[in-house]
Structure 1
Amino acid sequence: ETLNRSLDSPALTRTILTEAADLMGAAKAALLAIRGEVLVAEEVHNLSDEYRRLFCLPLSDSLSGTAVVEGRTVAVEDVDAEPLVDQVLVREGGYRSFLTAPLRSYKGTRGALSVYYDEPRRFSEDDRTLLRTFAVQAAIAIDNQRLMREKDEMALRDGLTGVYNRTYLELALDRLVKEARRRNGVASVLFLDVDDLKMVNDTHGHAAGDTLLTDLAAILASCSRESDVVARYGGDEFVILMPDTDAAGAQAVAAKIAAAVRRRNAEAQAAAPLSVSMGRHTAVGAEVSDLLRTADREMYAMKRARRSA
């Protein structure tokens, strides 16, 4: 029940370790994750950061790896009597005995859960079963949390292009406006529109139009920084929200996009070329709230000028 209440918390793994230690009467605990052919310590309880850094054990030749590979609880009642125990970890961890159970759920085995004791200890079959049962519940909780996060992420992504949707853009813009007002910060936005998308759909089919949208989204993502927000605003319109970016920085991004569009048209075998109109605006402080509206106006002014020409 405690684990289920923690599904929406970033501290789920710490909750798992605290609950496991309390349940098993252990002094310390660790959540172990599979990374290729080794196990690493993903989270620890009452163990040092150095222990977490040092923990890297092969799946094929370690007791913790045996728990994962064979799907059973492994018990070490005295670390001094077990030659496979890593003595460097024992010294850093300061424990004398431990239990390790696999983290298994309906999605497979993702690692292991270990609990550690400060003294040698005799483990009963009930001890092994109890930890194994708890580890299954913990693995299911971790998988469910990941599913919840993926679902939340999907709700904020455009289904066709994979970039963020308008809902997320508005949330990001609200955060940016508050931060810019607080720090009198600068921000820029690019507002982009795929030219003549309806004509492409009517002439070449909607698949060709979708290709233009997905190609542009990929170009925008590749030309942006990790801190920027690339979003499909609606239909044929896209936005790049760029915090802490002045006019020169925004112009540089716009130039990169224009060059990438030209390369795409020169190299692609698509049914229709990609043509993009672009509006750009930079604001400081409270004026950041007008970023989208101003960039939108500039983009449509650009489209009208091109049509007139």
Structure 2
Amino acid sequence: MDLTIAAFGFSALLLVALVVVLVLFLRLRGHTQEVEQALAEQSGSKERADMLMAVAQAVNSSLALSDVLHVALTQSGRLMGAVAGAMYLVTPGKAEMRRQSDYNLTHNARGAGRKLDEEPLRSVVTAQRPVVAPLDSEHAPGLEGGGHPTHVLVVPVQRATQLMGAMELYLPKPRQLREDQIELLQGVAAEAAMAISHAQLYQAQEENALTDELTKLPNRRYMAQRFLQEMQRARRHHKGLAFLMLDIDHFKQINDTNGHLHGDAVLAELARILTVAKRESDVAARYGGEEFGLILNETGETGAMTLAERIREKVEAATFPGGLKLTVSIGVATTDDEALFTSLIEKADQALYSAKQAGRNTVRVADMRGVGARRE
């Protein structure tokens, strides 16, 4: 009997002990989960802080705008689990955006442009916050690894109330955005907007420094920089290069008879004619005074002569301010010999002198084999 009672008492104590251990285990497990959750939140906060820091460092460094956009885009895409992404910037003076940076998209993927009044961009601009929207196969861009995304997360990039662009993060499935994720994406977008603003200001300053105030054409400094670039490109692709130098005939008489303000108006009108007559790929610049230069890439003698004659005929047919009828003389120099590229401007200048000597209102081609007459 005593043994039975003892055994029963021991069993009861064992059961109580098990219950206590179970309670302690459950409490410990709950505490562990709380610790894990706290650590995860702390880790997530650190990751978000690191992400913002990376974008901020890119903005404040000497990186080009394209690099800053790429950092913001890829960092945001990694956080949101995007399979690809694209950054769009607003086109000045137009209600549209153009894609400026992307990753994991096919070459020439559809959607290079975005209209501001199209969905989902219109809703994003109105809400001024990120929006997840479905994508149909007709409008979804192709992925580098194959297939198309099914959803897009659109993040507006704006500074104050000015819309500057948008990030598109392409998702393999729909997802709900947490408030902390929205705040983070807005923070990244704000950093990107600052970089865009700085780049646009710098570009405007550069354009002012490289633009002739009177004619609004590029100036001689810009032409020199661009000519160097075109020489390098022609060498790389083994293409020809041409240069045109033109001069208004008897321009000094216009200034002496009608005044310099009238002469300025004539120069501005000639610049307009050159802009209309040249090809889009050609570069027209004011070389100095009444002289203008044109850089023609991938152009041989026939193409350069054709353009020069077109310009000469348009000028001769035009009526300039004050009812003036004017003409120009043009010198042409072309070559596909990269060793002679650096001589093109000098040779075109010499050909222009020959055109003046031949009676003006004419076109002359430089002899690239020898040294022609020099201007005086």
- The TM-score bracket by the shorter chain reads 0.7 to 0.9
Does residue 278 (structure 1) correspond to residue 335 (structure 2)? The answer is no
Does residue 223 (structure 1) correspond to residue 309 (structure 2)? The answer is no
Q: Counterparts of 1:191 and 1:72 in 2: how far apart (Å)?
A: 53
Query: Cα deviations across residues 79-129 of structure 1 (Å, max 9, x unaligned)?
Result: xxxxx744655993256xx75442111571134335566677664433222
Does residue 138 (structure 1) correspond to residue 192 (structure 2)? The answer is yes
Does residue 293 (structure 1) correspond to residue 353 (structure 2)? The answer is no
After superposition, the Cα gap between the structure-2 partners of 1:44 and 1:134, relative to the gap in structure 1 and judged at 3 Å, is same
Does residue 67 (structure 1) correspond to residue 124 (structure 2)? The answer is yes
Could you tell me whether the CA contact under 8 Å between 1:40 and 1:57 is conserved in 2? no
The alignment's TM-score, normalised by the length of structure 2, stands at: 0.64
Could you tell me whether the CA contact under 8 Å between 1:102 and 1:135 is conserved in 2? yes
> Counterpart in 2 of 1:256?
310
Give the alignment partner of residue 71 of structure 2, picking from 2, 11, 15.
15
Could you tell me whether the CA contact under 8 Å between 1:31 and 1:43 is conserved in 2? yes
After superposition, the Cα gap between the structure-2 partners of 1:270 and 1:73, relative to the gap in structure 1 and judged at 3 Å, is same
Query: 176-185 or 194-203: which moved more?
Result: 176-185
Could you tell me whether the CA contact under 8 Å between 2:157 and 2:190 is conserved in 1? yes
Query: Cα deviations across residues 236-284 of structure 1 (Å, max 9, x unaligned)?
Result: 111122233333222211210121012213xx55353333222223344
Instruction: Tell me which amino acid in the other structure corresponds to 1:214.
Output: A
Q: Counterparts of 2:111 and 2:96 in 1: how far apart (Å)?
A: 13
Could you tell me whether the CA contact under 8 Å between 1:73 and 1:102 is conserved in 2? yes
Instruction: Tell me which amino acid in the other structure corresponds to 1:230.
Output: A
Secondary structure in structure 2 of the residue aligned to 1:92: coil
> Counterpart in 2 of 1:302?
355
Query: Cα deviations across residues 7-32 of structure 1 (Å, max 9, x unaligned)?
Result: 5243443222112234x453344435
Does residue 245 (structure 1) correspond to residue 299 (structure 2)? The answer is yes
After superposition, the Cα gap between the structure-2 partners of 1:58 and 1:250, relative to the gap in structure 1 and judged at 3 Å, is closer
Q: Counterparts of 2:343 and 2:330 in 1: how far apart (Å)?
A: 17
Instruction: Tell me which amino acid in the other structure corresponds to 2:66.
Output: P
Secondary structure in structure 2 of the residue aligned to 1:158: coil
The alignment's TM-score, normalised by the length of structure 1, stands at: 0.75
The answer to which structure, 1 or 2, has the higher relative contact order (CA under 8 A, 6+ apart) is 1
Q: C-alpha displacement at 1:6, in angstroms?
A: 6.3
Query: 292-301 or 50-59: which moved more?
Result: 50-59
Q: C-alpha displacement at 1:132, in angstroms?
A: 1.6
> Counterpart in 1 of 2:50?
none
Query: Mind listing any 5+ residue stretches in structure 1 that lack a counterpart?
Result: 77-83
Q: Counterparts of 2:197 and 2:63 in 1: how far apart (Å)?
A: 10
> Counterpart in 2 of 1:81?
none
After superposition, the Cα gap between the structure-2 partners of 1:54 and 1:248, relative to the gap in structure 1 and judged at 3 Å, is closer
Give the alignment partner of residue 162 of structure 2, picking from 85, 108, 113.
108
From the CA coordinates, give the structure whose radius of gyration is larger.
Answer: 2
Instruction: Tell me which amino acid in the other structure corresponds to 2:76.
Output: A
Secondary structure in structure 1 of the residue aligned to 2:87: strand
> Counterpart in 2 of 1:187?
241
Q: Counterparts of 1:233 and 1:85 in 2: how far apart (Å)?
A: 54
Instruction: Tell me which amino acid in the other structure corresponds to 1:218.
Output: R
Q: Counterparts of 1:176 and 1:38 in 2: how far apart (Å)?
A: 30
> Counterpart in 1 of 2:61?
5
After superposition, the Cα gap between the structure-2 partners of 1:141 and 1:251, relative to the gap in structure 1 and judged at 3 Å, is same
Does residue 234 (structure 1) correspond to residue 292 (structure 2)? The answer is no
Q: Give the CA RMSD over aligned residues.
A: 3.8
Could you tell me whether the CA contact under 8 Å between 1:99 and 1:128 is conserved in 2? no
> Counterpart in 1 of 2:215?
161
Query: Cα deviations across residues 208-258 of structure 1 (Å, max 9, x unaligned)?
Result: 111211222222222222332212111111112223333322221121012
Q: C-alpha displacement at 1:54, in angstroms?
A: 10
Could you tell me whether the CA contact under 8 Å between 2:150 and 2:170 is conserved in 1? no
After superposition, the Cα gap between the structure-2 partners of 1:271 and 1:206, relative to the gap in structure 1 and judged at 3 Å, is farther
Secondary structure in structure 1 of the residue aligned to 2:226: helix
Q: Counterparts of 1:154 and 1:284 in 2: how far apart (Å)?
A: 33
Query: Mind listing any 5+ residue stretches in structure 2 that lack a counterpart?
Result: 1-56, 142-146, 361-376
> Counterpart in 2 of 1:204?
258
